[in-house]
Amino acid sequence: KAGVTQTPRYLIKTRGQQVTLSCSPISGHRSVSWYQQTPGQGLQFLFEYFSETQRNKGNFPGRFSGRQFSNSRSEMNVSTLELGDSALYLCASSLAGRGGGDYEQYFGPGTRLTVT
């Protein structure tokens, strides 16, 4: 079974631009979560989508948004990029679950975003 895929793997953008990252979950997985990883803040939860609905959201500004499609693929968008948005963005997928972490989450390799 194919794992979680994320595209693109690397991205360089300029301040003020916007960016869209894509995540394809494991086949059959309906929950997709996004995390931002930086050396200073570590791994921080951005949001989770389940059956095309945002189920939970982390403490990030409104510039960060996401969506999920009917095939469970998900995208996240960051508008008006800032230097501090440079990070590794990780996507994770899991079976539906009741929540509370009762199902394993499988992570993709991440998208490395550099904002200059």
Closer of 72 and 94 to other proteins (Cβ): 94
The Cα diameter of the chain in Å comes to 40
- The residues of the shown chain that bind other proteins, judged by CB under 8 A, are 4, 31, 33, 35, 42-43, 45, 48, 50, 55-56, 58, 90, 92, 94, 97-110, 112
| Contacts with 95 (C-beta within 8 Å, 6 or more apart), sequence order | 28, 29, 30, 31, 103
CB of 3 to other proteins, least distance (A): 9
62 or 100: CB nearest other proteins: 100
Q: Which of these, 30, 45, 60, 27, lies nearest to 90 by C-alpha position?
A: 45
